[in-house]
Amino acid sequence: MNEMPYKTYLSENELPRAWYNVRADMSEKPAPMLNPKTLKPVTTEELEKVFCRECVKQELDDTTRYIEIPGKVRDFYRMYRPSPLIRAYFLERALGTPAKIFYKFEGNNTSGSHKLNSAIAQAYYAKEEGLEGVTTETGAGQWGTALSMASAFFGLKCSVFMVKCSYEQKPFRREVMRTYGADVTPSPSMETEVGRRINAEHPGTTGSLGCAISEAVEAAVSRPGTKYLLGSVLNQVCLHQSIIGLETSAALKKLGVEPDVIIGCAGGGSNLAGLIAPFMGERLRGGNACRFVAVEPSSCPSLTRGRYAYDYCDTGKVCPLQKMYTLGSGFMPSASHAGGLRYHGMSSTLSALLDQGYIEAMSVSQTEIFEAATLFARTEGTLPAPESAHAIKAAISEALRCKREGRSENIVFGLTGTGYFDMFAYGRYNDGKMEDYIPTDEEIAKGLAGLPNM
Ligand SMILES: *Cc1c(COP(=O)(O)O)cnc(C)c1O
C-alpha cells in the first residue's frame, strides 16, 4: 500500500536548533499586553514580578525571527523528540478518501502531550535565574504533569493548582504529578485569597482554568524564590511549541509534500500556533496558499462565538490584559471532558491571525469528537486525548469533503496527546451517556458583559 512511509522520523541531529517566532513576520503585530490597573502596556519590570526574566524577554519580543534553543533544553528534547509525522493510511482507507492525511504525534512522552515542549524550556529558565520553585495551574492535568517532569529534571519545587473537576475525575493524573515530586491542590482552594473569594461567589463550583491561574499567580507572588509558569496562551509558549511545526515542515519536505490544510485543536492556542508557525511565516511572506483551521469545543467557543477585545487572562483579574478572542474571564464552562480546552480566551497571536483572516475557526460538539476519537483509535491504533480528537474530527470532515469533490489534498493535523487518563469520559461515551452542552446566547452574553470597559 505504501508509496510513502507510514512514519517519518527525523534524526536527532535534525532536531531544530532554534524556535521560530511567527510575530517577527507579522506586519500587523498582536496588540500589547496591558497592566490590569493602569491599562498601559505592561513593562518588563512588571512582568518580571510574576514570570522568569528570559521568558518575559521572549514574551515581549516580536521582532527576532529565530531564538536559539538552549543546549540543556535540546538535550532533554532528545529523550522524546523528534516526534514522528505519521501518514494515516488506515484512517484514509476507512474513509475511502483520495486525500492524504498526516498527523504529528506529540503523545510519545510520559506527560502524554505537547506541553512538555514548553515546560522544559520554562523550567530551564527558572533554574538559570536561581529560583527554588515554580507554581502553575493545570486543567486536564497534562500541563501540570509536564511541568512536574521538567521541574524534577532541573531540581525545582513545583506546586500545581488543578481544576477541581479534573482533580476528582483524574486521580491517576494527580499521582503522576506527585510521583515526579509536585504538590497538587484542587482549585478553587481555600489556600489563597482569590480561591476563598471564588468559592464564596460560586459555591460548589468545579473550577476553571481562569480560577486556577489566579491562585497559582497569588501563590507565586507570595512565596520567595518562586515564580509562575503558564502552559499555554502566552507568546513564549507558542514560541517553544514552534518545534512541532519546524519538525513537521522538515518531515514534509523529506516526503516532498506541500500541505493544503493544517488543522489543530485550540484551547489556549499553543499547539496550533506551534504547528502552523513556519507555514504561517511562509504565508505571511507571501509564500503559500495553505489553509489553517482552529478547532474548539462548542461548549467553550471563544473563537467562534467570543469577541475580539481586551480581557483579563484569569478570573481573579491579577494577570495582564490581552487583546484576544474571549468569552469573558467570568465565563464558567460546563464540565466538558476536554478539560484542556476549557479556557475563556485564546493566544493573542492566534487571535490576531484569525482577525486578519489568516486562520479559520470552527467548533465541534463533544459527542462528535468521541465518535471521531473512536474511529481513529480503531483504525490508527493510538488512543487520542479528547482535546486532540477535535483536530481528528475536523481532519475527517476535510477528508470527506475531498472525497465528495474528488480531490487529493494533503491534510495535516496535530495529534497533541494520548487519552489514557480520559477513560472516565470514554466510559460515558461508551455507555451512551455523553451529553453535549452548548452555552445559550444569554450565557455567552453574560460572560461578555464582564469584559473590561475600555
Ligand atoms: C492542553 C492541551 C491542548 C490544548 O492546549 P493548546 O494550548 O491550545 O495547545 C490540546 N491537547 C492536549 C492533549 C492538551 O494537553
Three-class secondary structure of residue 194 per DSSP? helix
Looking at the structure, do residues 345 and 435 belong to the same domain, yes or no? yes
Q: Tell me: the pLDDT tens digits for 401-450?
A: 999 999 999 999 999 999 998 998 999 999 999 989 899 999 999 999 99
Atom 2 of ligand 1, residue of closest alpha carbon: 340
Given a contact cutoff of 8 angstroms between Cβ atoms, the answer to whether 417 and 105 are in contact is: no
For 313, counting Cβ atoms within 10 Å of its Cβ (0-12 exposed, 13-18 middle, 19+ buried), the class is: buried
Q: Does 76 reside within a domain?
A: no
Q: Does 73 reside within a domain?
A: no
Q: Does 75 reside within a domain?
A: no
The range of the structural domain enclosing residue 359 comes to 7-14+82-112+236-448
Q: Compute the Cα dihedral for 189, 418, 414, 150 and give only its sign.
A: positive
Kindly report the length of the chain.
Answer: 454
Report percent pLDDT > 70 for the chain: 98
Q: Is the pLDDT of residue 373 over 90?
A: yes
Q: Tell me: the pLDDT tens digits for 230-241?
A: 999 999 999 999
Atom 10 of ligand 1, residue of closest alpha carbon: 387
* β-bridge mates for residue 292, sequence order: 262
Q: Which stretches within 30-88 are classed as H helix?
A: 44-48, 53-60, 71-80
Looking at the structure, do residues 125 and 194 belong to the same domain, yes or no? yes
Confidence bin at 341 (pLDDT 50/70/90): confident
Looking at the structure, do residues 208 and 283 belong to the same domain, yes or no? no
Atom 9 of ligand 1, residue of closest alpha carbon: 271
Q: Which of 241, 243, 387, 388 is the best mutation target for the ligand 1 pocket, counting ligand atoms within 8 Å of the beta carbon and taking the most?
A: 387
Q: Is the pLDDT of residue 454 over 90?
A: no
Given a contact cutoff of 8 angstroms between Cβ atoms, the answer to whether 218 and 318 are in contact is: yes
Looking at the structure, do residues 101 and 201 belong to the same domain, yes or no? no
In whole angstroms, give the CA distance from residue 127 to residue 155: 8
Q: Residue 155: which region, alpha, beta or left (left: phi > 0; alpha: psi -120 to 50)?
A: left
Looking at the structure, do residues 203 and 298 belong to the same domain, yes or no? no
Looking at the structure, do residues 176 and 255 belong to the same domain, yes or no? no
> 178 CB contacts (<8 Å, ≥6 apart)?
184
Given a contact cutoff of 8 angstroms between Cβ atoms, the answer to whether 386 and 369 are in contact is: yes
Output the ligand 1 site: residues, CB below 6 A.
113, 115, 140, 142-143, 232, 265-271, 340-341, 385, 387-388, 416-417
**What was the pLDDT predicted at 342?**
75
In whole angstroms, give the CA distance from residue 340 to residue 335: 11
Q: Tell me: the pLDDT tens digits for 82-103?
A: 999 999 999 999 999 999 999 9
Q: Around Cβ 292, how many Cβ atoms within 10 Å? A: 23
* β-bridge mates for residue 103, sequence order: 86, 413
Q: Around Cβ 31, how many Cβ atoms within 10 Å? A: 18
Looking at the structure, do residues 370 and 227 belong to the same domain, yes or no? no
**1 C-alpha to ligand 1 centroid (Å):** 33
Direct distance between the N- and C-terminal alpha carbons of the chain, in angstroms, rounded to an integer: 59
Looking at the structure, do residues 243 and 101 belong to the same domain, yes or no? yes
In whole angstroms, give the CA distance from residue 428 to residue 419: 14
Which one of 200, 235, 270 terminates a domain? Answer: 235
**407 C-alpha to ligand 1 centroid (Å):** 30
Atom 15 of ligand 1, residue of closest alpha carbon: 142
Confidence bin at 335 (pLDDT 50/70/90): low
In whole angstroms, give the CA distance from residue 418 to residue 383: 6
Q: Is the pLDDT of residue 140 over 80?
A: yes
Given a contact cutoff of 8 angstroms between Cβ atoms, the answer to whether 146 and 123 are in contact is: no
Looking at the structure, do residues 384 and 342 belong to the same domain, yes or no? yes
Q: Tell me: the pLDDT tens digits for 297-315?
A: 999 999 999 999 999 988 7
Maximal CA-CA distance, the chain: 62
Looking at the structure, do residues 308 and 276 belong to the same domain, yes or no? yes
* β-bridge mates for residue 133, sequence order: 157, 226
- Stated as kind and residue range, the H or E segment containing 265 is strand 261-265
Q: Tell me: the pLDDT tens digits for 242-284?
A: 999 999 999 999 999 999 999 999 999 999 999 999 999 999 9
Domain CATH for 314 = 3.40.50.1100
- Stated as kind and residue range, the H or E segment containing 95 is helix 89-95
Helix 386-405 vs helix 366-380: crossing angle, to nearest 10:
80
Confidence bin at 2 (pLDDT 50/70/90): low
